[in-house]
Amino acid sequence: MKLKNQEVSLDTLDWQILHAIQENSKQTYSEVGRQLGVAHSTVYDRIRKMEKNGIIKKWTVDINLEKIGMNHITARMTVYTDPKESENVAKKLSEAKEVLEVSMSLSEELLIIAKVIARNQDELHSFIAKKVAPLQGVLRIRTSIVTKKIKEERFMIEKK
């Protein structure tokens, strides 16, 4: 692994390790090592370096909320803002526990797109009406409630 102008260049083994742990992050260093034909200590060292360099941002788990009785709805909220206030609006949205993702987009107007989670439509509306609409610089809001999720995957890197 080499660092060039803040960009980290990975070798083939790093890519293979990333691919293996992205498919199943629960497997041990030894299991990854066995798959790739290297020692578990090598896998450990490479992973540590990738964590240190911010390539591996976090280790997490994808919980099926319905299975544990936490019924919820998700929505895509598009917030049209005054360009002068957009950074502040995006920051405030990022701080809310109901907001899972925040991105900015510049098409014809400056937009903030956020993924919002709530227990039900009333809670969703209450959050948007009480916490988002009053933010300085919010011009209008369009929200689409997700009714059916067809696919949801993280980007999978390929083996090199």
Partner 1 sequence: MTPSSSARILRTLSRKNAFYFFTSVGNYTGQSAMSLEEFANKIREVETTSLEFHLYRGDFEKWTDEVLEDNILTERISAVKLLEPIGNSLRDQLYFTVSKRLEELKTLNS
Task: Give kind and range of the element (H or E) at residue 143.
Answer: strand 138-145
Question: According to the binding rule CB under 8 A, does residue 100 interact with partner 1?
Answer: no
Q: What are phi and psi of 135, to 5 degrees?
A: -65, 135
Is 139 a binder of partner 1 (CB under 8 A)?
yes
Q: Which stretch binds partner 1 (CB under 8 A): 8-16, 34-42, 59-67, 137-145?
A: 137-145
User: Considering the rule CB under 8 A, would residue 38 count as an interface residue with partner 1?
Assistant: no
Q: How many residues bind partner 1, per CB under 8 A?
A: 20
Cα–Cα nearest to 114, from 137, 81, 84, 83: 81
Interface region with partner 1, contact rule CB under 8 A, candidates 1-9, 34-42, 46-54, 73-81: 73-81
Report if residue 89 touches partner 1, rule: CB under 8 A.
no
Q: How many Cα atoms are found within 13 Å in the side-chain-facing hemisphere of 149?
A: 8
Q: Which of 39, 65, 70, 145 binds partner 1 (CB under 8 A)?
A: 145
CB 88 within 8 A of CB 106: no
Which of 5-13, 64-72, 132-140, 151-159 is the region at the interface with partner 1 (rule: CB under 8 A)?
132-140
77 within 8 A of 113, measured Cβ to Cβ: yes
